[in-house]
A = this chain, B = another copy of it.
Amino acid sequence: MNGARLTDDQRLDWLRLIRSENVGPRTFRTLVNRYGGASGALEALPDLARKSGRPSLKVTTRAEAEREMALAARLGVRFVAMGEPDYPKTLQAIDTAPPLIAVRGSGEVLARPSVAIVGSRNASAAGLTFAERLSRQLGEAGYAVVSGLARGIDTRAHKATLDTGTVAVMAGGHDRIYPAENEALLLAIIEQGGAIVSEMPMGWEPRGRDFPRRNRIVSGLSYGVVVVEAARRSGSLITARFALEQGREVFAVPGSPLDPRAEGTNDLIRDGATLCASVEHVTSVLEPLIAAGPRTDDGIEEGRPGEETEELWDELDLPDIARPPVGLVKPEGGFFEEEAESHPVIESRPVAGDRALIALLGPSPIAVDDLVRQSGLPIRVVQTALLELELVGRLERHGGNAVSLLPAPEA
C-alpha cells in the first residue's frame, strides 16, 4: 500500500467490483490480490463464475458504477479507497475493512483519533446525560466521536460533539437516512465539520442485517468503543464484540442491576471491559495507544503483479465473526452475515474438478495448509477452487486462514 490515490478508472473498477454479486470486503481483497487489481479481477470474474457453475453471476457494469458515482456526487459524497491517504488508518487495519467508503462532509475529522459512543435507543435520562457529558469531554480532549445516528445514545453523542467533530456511520445508502427524523442532525453534522460514512450503495434501504454490518465500521474507525447503556443481546454489544475482534478497547458504563438497560454493560465489565465512569477512564487507556499509532495493514495491492499473490493470500487471517471471542458475551445468533446473506442465495453447481476438495471440506474449519496437504493438489489449484466456492456462497472463512464448507442451498 503506497498511500497513492487511485486513478478515476481504478476507482470506477473498485466500485464495479465491490458492487458485484457475492463480492464483499474479503472476497474483494482475495480477488484483487489474485488478479493484480480490480481491473484484472473484473476481467476474470465471468470466467471464474462460469467455471464455478454460476454463469449468471451479476458483475456490475461500468455504466451502473458511473450512475452511482453521479448520484453520490450530487449529494457531495465521494468514494475513498482503502490505501488512499484519506482512508482512516484505524479502519484500514481491520480484516473486513470496506474497500471503498462513501464519505460526505469533512475529511479532516476522519483523520483524528476517534472514540465510538454507542448505546440503547430507549436510553434512561441518566444514560443520556452521561453520554452527553462523556461525548463533550472526549470532544474537548481532541477526539472525534463516532456513532450510528440512531435514536437515544447515538443521537445524544452526535449532538454533544457537533462543534468538536463527530462521525455518523450509516447502515444504508447516503440518500436513505435512517431514522428519517435525524435528517436535520445529519445536515448539522456536515455543516459543522463532521462526516457521514457508508459502505452501502446509493439508494440502499437499510435492513435489519445491515446494522450489525455497519457496527463493525463504527468500531473499526475508533481506538475504543464506549457502551453507555445496553440491554442483553442488543446491537451495542455487537459493536463491542467487533471492537474486541478488531483489537480495540471496550469500555462499558456501569448501572444498577435493577435496570435492564445496564445488563449488557455490567456483563461487559464482568467479561473484562474497562469500567467507564469518567472521561479519564477512557483517555488514560487510549492515550498510549494513540501515541503508538494504529496497526498498519496493507492487504490490497492494486496494480501489483500477480507474482506475490500466493504470499498475500497466505497473509490473510480472517476472523470467524460468527463465533464468540474468548471472554466476551455471545449475542444470540449470527449477526454479520456477509455476501452470502446480502445477496439472494444462489444455486451451487461446483465443477467436477472440485469434488475431491469438497469431500475434504465440511462444517468444521480446516486450515488451508492442511487442505493442500490432504488433497495433494498444488496450492494454486486449491486456492482457485476455494475462491470459486466462495463466489457461489459455499465457503466460510475463519481465523488462522481456515475455511469450512457451507451447506448447499435447497434446489
Contact = CB atoms under 8 A, between A and B. Distances in A.
B269 A254 contact: yes
Interface stretch (A45-53, A63-71, A270-278): A270-278
Interface stretch (A15-23, A204-212, A257-265, A335-343): A257-265
Contacts of A323: none
A269 B270 CA distance: 9
A275 B277 CA distance: 14
A266 B129 CA distance: 18
A208 to B, nearest CB: 29
State the majority secondary structure of interface residues on A. mixed
A interface, size bucket:
20 to 34
A374 interface: no
B281 A270 contact: yes
Contacts of A276: 257
Contacts of A130: 256-258
A254 B259 CA distance: 11
A253 interface: yes
Contacts of A258: 126, 129-130
A269 B265 CA distance: 13
A99 interface: no
A83 interface: no
A255 interface: yes
Nearest to A124: B256
A257 B275 CA distance: 10
A115 to B, nearest CB: 16
Contacts of A269: 254, 269, 275
A299 B129 CA distance: 54
Given A263-B277, A275-B270, A281-B270, A256 B257 contact: no
Interface string A234-257: 000000000000000000011111
Contact of A278 (B257, B259, B274): B257
Contact of A257 (B257, B266, B277): B277
A266 B275 CA distance: 8
Nearest to A255: B256
A234 to B, nearest CB: 16
A277 B257 CA distance: 5
A66 to B, nearest CB: 51
Contacts of A257: 130, 253-254, 276-278
Contacts of A262: 254, 256, 277
Interface of A: 126-127, 129-130, 253-259, 262-263, 266, 269-270, 274-278, 281
Given A254-B256, A263-B277, A266-B275, 4 more contacts: A254-B262, A255-B255, A269-B275, A270-B277
Pick the 5 closest A-B CB pairs, nearest first: A254-B254, A257-B277, A126-B256, A266-B277, A270-B275
